[in-house]
Each structure stands twice: as C-alpha cells, then as structure tokens.
Structure 1
Amino acid sequence: MAQSSPILSQLSATVAAGTILVSLISYIAARLLYNIYFHPLAQFPGPWYATATSLTDAIISLRKAEPAWLLGLTKKYGTDRPIRIAPRTLLFASSSSLKDIYWDARMNFKSELYGTGALGPPSLFDTRDGKIHQQLRKALGGNQWSIGSLKNFWEPKFDQHISLFLQKMTDIANAKQETILSDRVAEFAADIMTMVSFSEPWGFVRHGRDERGILHSWRLGLPFFGLVGRWRWFRQNIIANPNLAHYFLPAMSDKQGMGYLYAQANREVDHREMRMKAEGESFYMERPDFLQHCLDARHPLTGLPLTAVQKRAHVTLLIQAGADTTATALGSTLRFLLLNPRILRKAQEEIGMADREGKLSNPIAYEESRRLLPYMGACIKEALRLNPPAPNQFGRVTPEGGKTIDGHRIPPLVDVTTVSYIVQRDPKLYAPDPESYRPERWIDAEAVKLAEMESSQFVFGMGPRVCLGKDIAIMELWKLLPEIIRNFEFELLDIGRYIVAGGVAYNYGLKVNLALRR
C-alpha cells in the first residue's frame, strides 16, 4: 500500500485545522448576529456590543466602570423602556418598575448571577429558588434582627463601641495625625458585624487595622464575583464543570479572598460547637448572636438542623454582606458632607441645638437620632441614594407565560433587573437635579412625593428578599454619623474614591485631619 507523502499529510492537517477554525468563527458570528437581530429581546434598545455577548458587561465590571456605563445608557435610551444590557438581560431604569419586579411572588426566582459559588458555598443570599429562600429566611431572619430587638439587646453594646471609636479618633486628633476616614469607619462597621455574628468584635477599632485581613480579602474577591455573575458562557462551561470549577472557586485553603473569609467563619463555628459540646445543657447565651441562630436553626419543613456547610456559609454571609457595605454608606455620607460645607454646618447646627437643649444622650440613642435629627437623617438618605453600597444587578427571572413590567410585556425566562445606582437617579422622581446631593429634597417634599421616594429606595433591596442586616446597618448609620459630626471638625486632604467592583461598592482614600469641636 502506498504511503501518503509528508506534504499531503501536512496539507490535510492544515485543511482540517482551517475548517475547524472557519466553523468556529462562523458559529460565533452566527450566534452574535442572532443575539443582536433575531433574539426575542431584539425588540428592546441597547448597544450592539452588549446585546451580542454577556462578556461585554463582564469586562466593564472588571474595569470597575459598570455604574457609569449603565447611567450613560439610560441617558442615551431614556428610562421609559427597558434597556438590553446583555443578550438575555433587561435593565429597568424607572423607579416605577420596582414593585412589578420585586414584590410579585411569581418573580421571586433569582437570575443566574446568584448561585455561582463565587462567594463560597450556597447561603441565604444566593439561593435562587424563592420558596427555598423563604424557608431559610424563617430559620435565620426573625424578629431578632428588627430595630426593636436591636434596641433592646444590641444597642448598649453598640454604644460601648461608639465610645471606643470616638476615643481612638480623639487620640488621632490630639496627635495631629492624618487619617484615612473611610478606613476608620470601615473598621467600625467590621467590628459591629463581627460582634453581632460572634458576640464580641474582632478588634478592628481597638487595634486600628484591618483585623485578619477581612476587608482586604472581601474586596479582592469582588471582581471575580462580578465576572462570574455577568459572563454566562463562563458560568455554564467552566463553573458548571466540576472538573474545572475548583480551579476558580474559593477554597478554605486560600490565603485571601472569599475562601479566606469562609475559613475564618469555619474556625468560629468549630470553636462554638466545641464549647457547646463541653458545656452540654449548661450552655447558655443571654444574647444569642447570629452564629448561635445558625447553629440552633431548624429547617421549617424537615425540622432538621442546618448542615455543616449551611452553618458556615450563612455565618460568612453576614460578614460579607454587612461589614464593608455599611462602611461604604458611612464613608460616602462623610464624603458628601465634607464636599458640601453648607450642608455639614447645617447638620452640625441641628445636632448642636438638640444637644444644648439636653435632648441627646451620650452616645446618641437611635430613637433620638431618628426623631430629633431629621436633617442628619436626610443627609444619610441622600448619600445612600447617590452612592448605594451594593449597586449590583439583583436580577429576577420572568415566569412561564411572561410578565408585564412597568407597562412592557416581557417574554418568559428573561433576566430583568434594576440597579440602585440607576433607579435612584430616576429623573422623573428626583427632578430637576437627580444627580445632585441635596438632603433638603427629603425635608421639603410633599407627603405624596416623599412616600414615593421612600418606597423607591433600593439600597437594601425590597420585597421578601430584603437585606437581612438592613436594620443593623440603619442603626449604625443613624448612631455613629451624628456622633462624628457632633465631636469633630475636618480638614479634607484627599477626596478619595467611591469604587464599584463586581456590583459592590467600597470607599478608598478619604483622608482628613481631625480637630475636636469646642
């Protein structure tokens, strides 16, 4: 039998490789053309480069430019129609869409952005199925985290920590040292969240540092969370493949990122369970923390305890969701105040008047702040509106049969979302200056308009999946911020930055000199 020549063999291999390459390019081109022109969502406006592939939004998220990009799209296409920001995703920019998306029980199934594993094992936050979420919520998110319970059981401990924080800040002021104010309030928020989670703070404020690298690790993990949540091909072909996923997803052996946070939670669970076993029936906690609620929780349907993985995942969740996000709200409010001296002075005058009249405790009680300091509260609300801590795509999936949202008929099984950074700048609701920091809008608005603005705040989400730690964050904001304003004057040295990575925000580099107020 005659053998083929090396030249013919090489030619055949080249032709085969070329055929494969041409086929691949043709498939990709056909897919892109289908997504742009023939997809069921092609009727909705959006930039071609985003409607063609979800990789676009993933790259924009990695570049930490997503909020500005989405805001630019709303200015180009308007807020009257949903905007197509990925092949299967529609963004609703109008505040009037919130109720249709987040309060309808049929819309309680989360989009693929959740459940990727990028934050660690599955928890309450990334449970996609609404019915399963409801069951877990009953087990973990009862009245113990409402304002009423927090006032009764946790506010005195918050007060102790506020006093410690003020003393540390006073030491900095007396030493005439520059300080990164955004870092100091982040350390406070991290201490409060570890206190609520494990009964005692981990010492961020006392030691003046990022204890155990928690904040740094959280921020390092955010870009990957955004990438996986936005790039559908990567989720379905890499993360869904058990042979490949472990190369990318967090592991407890990691020295940083989400895996490191999970390892820290695992250590706390192990320590508490050992204590419970050693003390037996004599084990008692006067003030059960979040960890203890996770250990004691029973599944509402089966009556069984949470699994070992669930316990650790949920403990990690509270640190992830509550530490740096509350810090963002604290830091952003301070930045807006320092950039607007007139507003800062007005807030200080309000606090000073209440103080001179003997109406404020030391530290200020939550109810005092809420009732007696309405302008300070307006300053906080306005900062949350413009710099929300989690301007993420909290997507929902439309049900079988489709769904009418804000007057638009949306096909079934489509990802629909709003983004707090966008919907809280709705020009119809916040005209004539939706992008201006103006706390007076929360004071001067008529009752109907004020109620509409209040109901359109998406900072903590809404509906049955509202943030579990919402009231913890509110108490921190309404207590710590007026105390800082009450006690210190500021020389702004560096404005710093509000950064959004993977749909979650944090503050960087807000530097000041402090002086005690006389």
Structure 2
Amino acid sequence: MLLNGVLPLLAQYWPIVLVSLTLGWLLNNKFWKGLNRYPGPWLAGYTNWWRFWDVWGRHHHWTIIKLHREHGDVVRLGPNVLSFADPRAIKVIYGLNKGMVKSDFYPVQNAVANGHRLQSLFSTVDEDYHAKYRRCVNNAFAMSSLVNYEPLVSSTVGVFLDKTQEMYANTGKTCNFSQWLQYFAFDVIGDLTWSKRLGFVEEDRDVDGIIGFLQGFLSYAGPIGQMPILDLFLEKNPISLFFQRIGLSKTVFPVTLFAQTRSNERAGQIQKIKAYGLPEDQPNPRGVDLLSKFAQAAHDHPDFMDDTRILSSCTSMVFAGSETTAISLSSVFYFLLKHPAVYAKLMQELDEAVTNGTIEPRTDKTVSWSESQKLPYLDAVIQESFRMHPAAGLILERIVPPQGMDILGAFIPGGTIVGCNPWALHRRPEIFGDDVETFRPERWLEAPPNKLKEMKATMFQFGAGARTCIGKNVSLLEVYKLVPSFLRRFEIELERPDAEWKTHNAWFVRQMDFNTRFRPRESAP
C-alpha cells in the first residue's frame, strides 16, 4: 500500500529526489567520521574524484608537497583519506603489530592468470597471507643472499658497459638514458630470476613490448587505485575474468605471459628442485637465481608455495624490480650531471680508491659490491638522490583498524585510509636542514650520529615496517655496482645542459627527456 503511494511520487519528482540523494551523499562524505576537521582541497572532502583527477595529471608528488606546506602535517585527500607528513607517523602507520592493513589501492595492481588474480607479496591485503608468503621467500631476498646474486648482476653490468661503449661512446650518438637504464634493469631481472638476460640491452629494444605495457599499466593503476571500484568495470571486470576461466576468452595478461614463458624454459629443473631441493654439493659460480630459490621455497613449504605462487613471485620481479631500480639509477646520474662539483668530487673518491687499493684496477673498470661499501661519498650521493627523487609518488595507503587509533595525538576512526608520501617526508627541513630543495650529499657526511639516525629513519624510498619492499637489497646491489662502474668507464654529459627532465607520476615517478652523450674515460693519473 505504502509502495503504491510512494512510487508515483518518486516518478513525478525524480529530479528533486536525485538531487537530494546526491547532496545527502556529498554532505555525508564531507562530515563522515568528523574528518572535516582536517584541511585539504575543498573538493577532496566531498568525493574521491578530486584525487583521481589529480593523480591522472601525473604530478601528484608536487601537489602533495604543496598541500602539506599550505595545510600542515595532516591533509585530507578524499572523504576517507588522510595524508601524514610528520616523520613520527611512520612508526605508527607502518610499525609492526599496529593492526594496519593495505587498502584496495593495491589489488588493482594484481596480475591475472587464467581469469584468476595473482596475489603477490606487494599487492595482497591479507596480512596472514603476506606473513606466510614472506616466510617462504624471505631468504631469497636477505642481505646474506647478495653474495649469490652478485655474479649474475656483474654479468649484466659487463654487457651493459660494453654495449654502451659500442653503441654510444664510440659513435657519439645521443642516448635516452632513462630508457637505456631500464633496459639494464630488465636484463638484470632476467639474470637474477632466470639466469638469462632477456635481450633488452644486446638487442637495444623493448622485448615483447613489456616495458611499454608496464608503463601503460602503472599509468592506469595510479589513478584507478584512487577509486578501486573502477577496476571492477575495467581490467578486473568479473565477467571478463569468468570468460577467461572457462576458456571463452584467450586474453592473457602480458606480464604473466612474459614470466610464464621464461619459467617454462626451466620447467624440468624446477620440478626437480621442488621434489629434492637445491643440490648442496654442486657449486654454481654464476650464483643461484631467484627462480631456483622460489622452487626451493616450494620444496621447504609444499603446503603453501605452489606453482601459482612461484609464477606470482616471478611476475612481481618483472613488475617492481625494473621500474623502481631504473628510476633510482636515473636519479643518481641526473643529479650528478646537474651538479658538476659533486660529480668531480665523486670521481676524485673513485680515482683515489683505485690508487690506494680500495678498488681493484680491473680492465673493465667494474666495482664490486664490497668495494662500493667502502666509498662514503658514493653512499652520500646515492642517499641524497633517493631523498630528492624517491621512486614512489603516491601515499602508501593503510587502513586504520576497526577500533580506531591514535596517530600523533589525534584519534583517527576505524576504516580511515591513512598514509605517508616519500616526496613530502624527504623534504622536512627539521630533519634534513633548511636547504631541503638543494641536492647536497655532504649533509649525509656532516650529520652527527643522532641526526644521521633520524635522517635514515625518515627515508621512505623503500617503504617501512613489515611491508618494506622485499627487493630492497637486490635494488641496492644494482645501484651500488653500476653507478661507480659506469662512472669509471665513461664521461657523461647532458645533451642540453640547461634543460630539465620531465617527470611522469604513474604511481612510480619515472623520468623523461633525460638525454645524454658518453665518452670513454681515460684512466686517472
């Protein structure tokens, strides 16, 4: 009876009803949970479309710095999203046993195989699943494993230096250095994961178009991750995934196919390792690759580490292992070229290290991991590059547990998305000095021990807490080996010294228009 009376009214006054519902929804967003007490862009309080469009603009890292300088340490980025720029928030939000979980931003980045999402260590929001997964593969990424991986990295470093000599230093051709470094990073991932370079450097091309795909996918994931429900209508559409599962759709996620193809070439060997474990009596001078380590994890944890998770682990290496490392390498070289005095000072340290025996005078001019760890100015340059241009350009989102929690003296209701952005954290003057916008490696050498500890605790290049990037040590191995080796082998100059590069924040802040020329470097006297 009531329905018969209401329906005609709704039909007659539907525009008023629609407007009223929309206003009610917007006002609820604005004042929900009392988050309206936090400042931010006026539209952000009403709808997530504000942050969607800002991230779509590819310069959100500059937006977040500007917002925090205008509004303070806590800024509202959406109806249910708060960004924290106070370094003290790191331990609260990302600390162990805080009850925080990742938000739905991360599953947007799941790869897909046969219509099923591949939950990776990075993208899963299930903390128990993450803990089990990490226990299985933790040993593969431990600092102690670097000695096993260095021969694999060295192999690619040698090829990369020789091809740079052949293609650029001997010809005077201009090099798209960011792209060239990404080719290097991809071939390192191939060597580390499958003991096989994938041909990016030797063939000077984007093999299988995988870099182009990844850049496009990350450009999709960044903004879509601000409103994850959109992913269910687009890439992860349930109907499309169902058709894949029953075989009606042959669509294959390119990264999954890329990793699967390389892994299938070793299928027989991997099955043996899963069954019997890695042989201990057969030393491998080239080191044990990650695929073998993942198979060993399946041998040690057969109840959890199955073939799907081995594939997911390899896929994760392709996803995250190349983009972030290439960005970090580009940052180091770019800031050196933009600051000639720093460049000269670092070259002096390298030359003196060869003279006094810290660096072995190899004919190919490469530098080992252990040698690089004895070069304090090199370390300062790399740390300062990480500070000035961290790879991640969005907040690393976490969800406050249902009971709510205190963050820096304020009660934040349960279910609120909170996070820190490394671009804001790395520019805190009370931590790094008033000259935070200046590239000055000396700050890392001049700081007293307590200040240095504080600076290192604020660095957010690889995240923090239990979900710190598991590949951090592998990335550092690549950076600390290639940078000094490349500088000893070549003199580098910008094609246009006065030009600034452009940045593209697609979740990771990659660089464009970084064009250089190289010359063979004569040995220092």
State if a TM-score over 0.5 links the two structures: yes
Specify the code of the residue in structure 1 equivalent to 2:313.
H
Say if 1:108 and 1:129, in contact at 8 Å, map to a contact too: no
Separation of aligned partners in 2, 1:491 and 1:196: 30
**Cα-to-partner distance string for 1:14-36 (whole Å, 9 max, x where unaligned):** 99777444433322222112222
Q: Is 1:501 paired with 2:509?
A: no
Percent identity at matched positions?
Answer: 27
For residues 328-477 of structure 1, what are the structure 2 equivalents within 5 Å? 328-361=327-360, 362=362, 363-371=366-374, 373-477=375-479
Secondary structure class of the residue paired with 2:209:
helix
Say if 1:32 and 1:52, in contact at 8 Å, map to a contact too: yes
For residues 245-264 of structure 1, what are the structure 2 equivalents within 5 Å? 259-264=253-258
Task: Give how far 1:516 is off.
Answer: 1.6
Task: Give how far 1:215 is off.
Answer: 1.6
Separation of aligned partners in 2, 1:241 and 1:55: 20
1:421/1:483 Cα in 2 relative to 1: closer, same or farther (>3 Å)?
same
Counterpart of 2:489 (choices 465, 487, 490) is 487
Say if 2:346 and 2:377, in contact at 8 Å, map to a contact too: yes
1:158/1:307 Cα in 2 relative to 1: closer, same or farther (>3 Å)?
closer
**Cα-to-partner distance string for 1:452-476 (whole Å, 9 max, x where unaligned):** 0011111111111111110011111
Secondary structure class of the residue paired with 1:91:
strand
For residues 202-241 of structure 1, what are the structure 2 equivalents within 5 Å? 202-234=198-230
1:87/1:155 Cα in 2 relative to 1: closer, same or farther (>3 Å)?
same
**Cα-to-partner distance string for 1:406-437 (whole Å, 9 max, x where unaligned):** 22221112111001111111222122112221
1:96/1:253 Cα in 2 relative to 1: closer, same or farther (>3 Å)?
farther
Separation of aligned partners in 1, 2:404 and 2:111: 30
Say if 2:99 and 2:400, in contact at 8 Å, map to a contact too: yes
Q: Is 1:112 paired with 2:111?
A: no
Separation of aligned partners in 2, 1:216 and 1:56: 27
Separation of aligned partners in 1, 2:370 and 2:432: 28
Q: Which runs of 5+ in 1 are unaligned?
A: 1-12
CA RMSD of aligned residues (A): 2.9
Say if 2:178 and 2:330, in contact at 8 Å, map to a contact too: yes
Runs (4+) of structure 1 exceeding 6 A deviation are 13-18, 236-241, 244-248, 278-283
Which is worse superposed, 308-317 or 171-180? Answer: 308-317
* Aligned residue-pair number: 496
Which is worse superposed, 196-205 or 264-273? Answer: 264-273
Say if 1:118 and 1:224, in contact at 8 Å, map to a contact too: no
Specify the code of the residue in structure 1 equivalent to 2:223.
L
Separation of aligned partners in 1, 2:110 and 2:471: 21
For residues 127-142 of structure 1, what are the structure 2 equivalents within 5 Å? 127-142=124-139
Specify the code of the residue in structure 2 equivalent to 1:310.
R
Separation of aligned partners in 2, 1:206 and 1:252: 35
Say if 1:135 and 1:299, in contact at 8 Å, map to a contact too: no
1:240/1:18 Cα in 2 relative to 1: closer, same or farther (>3 Å)?
farther
Which is worse superposed, 429-438 or 338-347? Answer: 429-438
Q: Is 1:185 paired with 2:187?
A: no
Secondary structure class of the residue paired with 2:411:
strand
Specify the code of the residue in structure 2 equivalent to 1:451.
K
Specify the code of the residue in structure 1 equivalent to 2:378.
M
Secondary structure class of the residue paired with 1:46:
coil
Separation of aligned partners in 2, 1:25 and 1:177: 61
Separation of aligned partners in 1, 2:242 and 2:329: 36
Counterpart of 2:267 (choices 265, 273, 279) is 273
Q: Is 1:50 paired with 2:44?
A: yes
| Partner in structure 1 of residue 161 of structure 2 | 166
1:507/1:26 Cα in 2 relative to 1: closer, same or farther (>3 Å)?
same
Task: Give how far 1:183 is off.
Answer: 1.7
Separation of aligned partners in 2, 1:131 and 1:504: 27
Q: Is 1:290 paired with 2:287?
A: no
Task: Give how far 1:442 is off.
Answer: 0.5
Task: Give how far 1:349 is off.
Answer: 1.0
Say if 1:147 and 1:475, in contact at 8 Å, map to a contact too: no
Which is worse superposed, 356-365 or 277-286? Answer: 277-286
**Cα-to-partner distance string for 1:489-511 (whole Å, 9 max, x where unaligned):** 22211456353433112222311
Q: Is 1:41 paired with 2:35?
A: yes
**Cα-to-partner distance string for 1:209-249 (whole Å, 9 max, x where unaligned):** 2222222111010122112210155257777862377799x
Q: Is 1:310 paired with 2:309?
A: yes
Counterpart of 1:84 (choices 76, 79, 89) is 76
**Cα-to-partner distance string for 1:122-151 (whole Å, 9 max, x where unaligned):** 211111122221111001122x32232212
Which is worse superposed, 377-386 or 405-414? Answer: 405-414
1:174/1:112 Cα in 2 relative to 1: closer, same or farther (>3 Å)?
same
Say if 1:297 and 1:305, in contact at 8 Å, map to a contact too: no
Separation of aligned partners in 1, 2:249 and 2:332: 35
1:66/1:14 Cα in 2 relative to 1: closer, same or farther (>3 Å)?
farther
Separation of aligned partners in 2, 1:232 and 1:179: 38
Q: Is 1:327 paired with 2:323?
A: no
Secondary structure class of the residue paired with 1:116:
helix
TM-score under structure 2 normalisation? 0.87
Q: Is 1:66 paired with 2:60?
A: yes
Say if 1:35 and 1:53, in contact at 8 Å, map to a contact too: yes
Say if 1:51 and 1:86, in contact at 8 Å, map to a contact too: yes
1:365/1:135 Cα in 2 relative to 1: closer, same or farther (>3 Å)?
same
Say if 2:502 and 2:513, in contact at 8 Å, map to a contact too: no
Task: Give how far 1:360 is off.
Answer: 0.6
Task: Give how far 1:303 is off.
Answer: 4.4
Q: Is 1:93 paired with 2:85?
A: yes
| Partner in structure 1 of residue 4 of structure 2 | none
Specify the code of the residue in structure 2 equivalent to 1:129.
D
1:31/1:233 Cα in 2 relative to 1: closer, same or farther (>3 Å)?
farther
Say if 1:61 and 1:226, in contact at 8 Å, map to a contact too: yes
Say if 1:109 and 1:130, in contact at 8 Å, map to a contact too: yes
Separation of aligned partners in 1, 2:251 and 2:339: 42
Specify the code of the residue in structure 2 equivalent to 1:157.
L
Secondary structure class of the residue paired with 1:94:
coil
Separation of aligned partners in 1, 2:318 and 2:80: 31
| Partner in structure 1 of residue 22 of structure 2 | 28
